[in-house]
């Protein structure tokens, strides 16, 4: 065999290795996006579980806030019911739930007895932290999507992406303006 053939084989092998590497990193990034989405889900579910407890604890103290409590319960049920919806729809519903919760926690401020209740304080810590965890997991999800999308759009990995049908990831966006403040349980 002559030298030219060996060079040709070498070039093909190197190219194949590069392509395998690109494909694998695309798969890795796509899995990271999926995993990050699952993490948001875990935190959202945790919030669904906390809300009935919170409403139960608070109800005894707040005779005159039925509307606020019902709004929270309703938003929770709607959001929990749509747990298999797309990213866009879920962002909107979760945003509404965050808003309802924030309003409830503002109202709580008018009930000093409630703020002395150990059970409520523990719940409040859990809720504050769950709100933080939701926004941090959303943040990590968006970071992952950004990285994945960059890879699918940039040359040369975009060729592999279109060849094997890697679709763009969707950002988890905050749709409602008031939801921006919601993650902080604020008593201001």
Q: Contact residues for other proteins (CB under 8 A)?
A: 32, 36, 39, 43, 122, 125-126, 128-129, 132-133, 135-137, 139-140, 143-144, 146-147, 150, 181, 183-188
Shortest Å distance, C-beta 186 to other proteins: 4
The angle formed by the CA atoms of residues 68, 109 and 132, to the nearest 5 degrees, is 80
Residue number with CB closer to other proteins (73 or 117): 117
Residue number with CB closer to other proteins (61 or 140): 140
What the block records as the tokens of 124 is 């409040």
For tokens 């604890």, what's the residue?
57
> Quick one: how far is CA 82 from the chain centroid?
14
2, 145, 163 from 51: Cα distances, Å: 75, 29, 45
Distance, in Å, from the CA atom of 55 to the CA atom of 180, rounded to the nearest integer, reads 23
Shortest Å distance, C-beta 34 to other proteins: 13
What the block records as the tokens of 17 is 């290795």
Residue number with CB closer to other proteins (1 or 177): 177
Shortest Å distance, C-beta 75 to other proteins: 22
Shortest Å distance, C-beta 171 to other proteins: 10
Residue number with CB closer to other proteins (77 or 129): 129
Rama region for 14: left / alpha / beta (φ>0; ψ in -120 to 50; rest): alpha
């Amino acid at each position: 065999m002559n030298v030219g053939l060996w060079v040709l084989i070498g070039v093909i092998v190197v190219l194949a290795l590069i392509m395998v590497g690109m494909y694998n990193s695309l798969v890795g990034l796509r899995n990271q996006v999926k995993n990050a989405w699952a993490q948001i889900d875990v935190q959202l579910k945790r919030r669904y579980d906390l809300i009935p407890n919170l409403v139960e604890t608070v109800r005894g103290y707040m005779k005159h806030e039925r509307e606020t409590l019902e709004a929270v319960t309703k938003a929770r049920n709607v959001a929990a019911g749509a747990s298999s919806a797309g990213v866009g729809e879920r962002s909107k519903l979760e945003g509404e739930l965050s808003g309802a919760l924030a309003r409830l926690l503002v109202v709580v401020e008018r009930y000093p007895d409630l703020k002395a209740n150990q059970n409520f304080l523990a719940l409040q810590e859990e809720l504050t932290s769950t709100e933080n965890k939701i926004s941090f997991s959303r943040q990590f999800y968006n970071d992952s999507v950004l990285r994945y999308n960059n890879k699918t759009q940039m040359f040369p990995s975009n060729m592999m992406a279109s060849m094997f049908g890697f679709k763009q990831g969707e950002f988890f966006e905050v749709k409602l303006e008031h939801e921006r403040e919601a993650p902080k349980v604020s008593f201001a």
